Chains A and B, each alone.
Chain A
Amino acid sequence: MDFSDKQATHLLEQAILIAEDLRQDPSVLAVILSGPLALGKAPANDKLYFVIITDKDDGIIEHHFLNDGWGDVRHPVEMGKFPLVVATFLAEHGYSDMVSYKSLEAFRCGHVLWEKEKIGTNLIEASKKHIPAAVFIGESLHGAVSALDDAVAMYKNEDYKNAVLMAREAAIKAVDMVIRDKIQDEDFSLIEAAEKYLAPEDFSLFLQILDIEEVDESRALESARIAGEFARFTLREIGVNPEQVLDIKDRKL
């Protein structure tokens, strides 16, 4: 881990405090820091992610969202608690769905803060054969995958138009994930960034999926006109005067 930046160092100190507290629980076998911080990054407003390995025999994975922090540490925390038997099974057999993928990804990014008998270290090592590179993309990947699952379900229900709309959402989420890996700036043009960061054949597929491969001026103007009308209609319907909301320049739309 490279903790050259001040924010990352501060967060790591907080994480160590939490780990110190967690290890007091006799059922805890390892405390592993995960997420961007374990990869040496400290994005603003991000949470502290932990993987806790326990000796419990109930087979239940627990996922805690602690927005107010843990103990004296007032920083949002997300914590996955895995019985050793479940964690070992995942590390041996790999992933088959999003839950198992996200679990293994959390192990793979991990940095052991405390452990008994190298349990955490062995787990991280074993996860490498399933997830070669340490990345933390599970959350955004989940969005794309579940949108595509929804699209397939709609298609099977003969809801063909909505299946296409959902498939496009899945494509946008997947491409967005690629772009965000490359640029941190929130304000980017999807199409230009996609052209820059996708392989040419993938960019072409993306345009086809969105049905914007060939867009001439008249189609664009027609869409803009309808969208402008819709926005005005909606605002009026909800009791808001469009003139007060939309800029005067938009009136031509």
Chain B
Amino acid sequence: MQYTREQEFLRQKFLAEATELVAGLERDPNILAAFLTGSAAWGKPNPDGDLDILLITENNQGVFYRYLIPKFCRTPRRAEFGFIPLAVVLEKIERAYGDPLSCSAIEQFKNGKILFQKEDRGDRIIRACRDVVPGKLMIGRNINMVRGLMESLRRALELKQYRNVLLFSRKIMSLSARLLLLVRERLGVAKEKQEFRAINRIFGKIECGQYETVMAVKSIDREKSYLTLLKTMTLLGNILSQKAVSDRIVSYNGFQR
């Protein structure tokens, strides 16, 4: 990935901050390796973003997270430390892309930046995640889901429920894209945004066009996109207000026409 000078500067800044935050943990014999993950490690970091750090532990005391909040802790920004026992990491690698949680964990390690490691543990985990072979892919569940969706699509067609037909068609397109990503690129997708971003890479021009037709985004420009986001914010705002939840939990930082 190509980074602008500003993005590269931010990445280095995040890396330096994360390295400093985990410095004391290296002395803990229970901690085998530390990874910086998330957009700070491989994507375009958000200047206001958090630090996401995963720590591999020797003891199997379950997965737990620590949240460091600047007001209360010595941290330059909010930081999330995930403590994952080595046994759990190995189990996720073994399960490979069999479930979304394993997908997500493997992707985090594959693309993570090692902050420190003992006896090459970090390197070995990254290698193991990158080596997950197609033979281990558990795609049966996804194939069954395609079958189920095709059945639902057929029923909706028979009942002339055209809105449902569109929604089922979109789900089928989505699942098909994920299956292709999994098999062709060994890329398990845990989040929709990863799927959407990969479409142009994995499909040819014709398939991309078909995908956009079914997803109804062919004619989307800046203005239409803006209006859809605005409507979504209104809908979410209405739902939040019915639940007596303030919409300050959603950050629309910098959203403008």
Residues of A within 8 A of B (CB): 58-68, 83, 85-86, 89, 94-99, 101, 131-133, 135, 137, 141, 144-145, 147-171, 174-175, 177-178, 189-191, 199, 201-202, 205-212, 215-217, 219-224, 226-231, 233-235, 237-238, 240, 245-247, 249-250, 253
Nearest B residue to A70, CB-CB: B62
How far is the CB of A45 from the nearest CB of chain B, in Å? 15
Q: Could you say which of B68, B235, B252 has the most chain A C-beta atoms within 10 Å of its C-beta?
A: B235
The 8 closest A-B pairs by CB, nearest first: A59-B72, A160-B225, A227-B169, A220-B162, A234-B176, A223-B169, A64-B64, A220-B165
User: What total of chain B residues lie within 8 Å of the partner, measured CB to CB?
Assistant: 85
Q: A209-B228, A245-B143 are in contact. Are A95 and B246 (CB under 8 A)?
A: yes
Q: Is B249 touching A95 in the complex (CB atoms < 8 A)?
A: yes
Q: Is B217 touching A164 in the complex (CB atoms < 8 A)?
A: yes
Q: Is B236 touching A171 in the complex (CB atoms < 8 A)?
A: yes
Report the Cα distance A250→B154, complex, angstroms.
Answer: 7
Q: Is A155 touching B236 in the complex (CB atoms < 8 A)?
A: no
Q: Is B169 touching A162 in the complex (CB atoms < 8 A)?
A: no
Partner of B193, one of A85, A162, A223, A228: A162
Using Cβ atoms and an 8 Å threshold, which residues of chain B touch A101? 245, 249
Instruction: Given contacts A141-B245, A190-B167, A230-B214, list 7 more A-B pairs with CB under 8 A.
Output: A64-B64, A144-B236, A145-B250, A160-B222, A224-B157, A246-B146, A250-B153
How far is the CB of A152 from the nearest CB of chain B, in Å? 5
How far is the CB of A121 from the nearest CB of chain B, in Å? 22
Within 8 A of A (CB), among B41-76: 44, 46, 62-69, 71-73
Chain B facing A: main interface SS: helix
Report the Cα distance A160→B63, complex, angstroms.
Answer: 37
Does B90 touch A at the CB level, under 8 Å? no
Q: Is B168 touching A161 in the complex (CB atoms < 8 A)?
A: no
Does B30 touch A at the CB level, under 8 Å? no
How far is the CB of A128 from the nearest CB of chain B, in Å? 11
Nearest B residue to A61, CB-CB: B67
Chain A facing B: main interface SS: helix
How far is the CB of A48 from the nearest CB of chain B, in Å? 14
Does B120 touch A at the CB level, under 8 Å? no
Q: Is A223 touching B165 in the complex (CB atoms < 8 A)?
A: yes
How far is the CB of B87 from the nearest CB of chain A, in Å? 12
Q: Is A137 touching B62 in the complex (CB atoms < 8 A)?
A: no
Q: Is A212 touching B236 in the complex (CB atoms < 8 A)?
A: no
Q: A161-B212, A212-B167, A215-B162 are in contact. Are A247 and B224 (CB under 8 A)?
A: no
Does B187 touch A at the CB level, under 8 Å? no
Q: Is B167 touching A238 in the complex (CB atoms < 8 A)?
A: no
Partner of B231, one of A205, A224, A253: A205
Q: Is B225 touching A228 in the complex (CB atoms < 8 A)?
A: no
Report the Cα distance A253→B234, complex, angstroms.
Answer: 37
Using Cβ atoms and an 8 Å threshold, which residues of chain B touch A66? 62
Partner of B62, one of A67, A152, A154, A163: A67
How far is the CB of B213 from the nearest CB of chain A, in Å? 6
Nearest A residue to B244, CB-CB: A132
How far is the CB of A230 from the nearest CB of chain B, in Å? 5
Within 8 A of A (CB), among B202-257: 207, 210-217, 220-222, 224-226, 228-229, 231-236, 238-240, 242-246, 248-255
Does B183 touch A at the CB level, under 8 Å? yes
How far is the CB of A68 from the nearest CB of chain B, in Å? 7
Using Cβ atoms and an 8 Å threshold, which residues of chain B touch A219? 162, 166
Q: Is A160 touching B251 in the complex (CB atoms < 8 A)?
A: no
Does B32 touch A at the CB level, under 8 Å? no
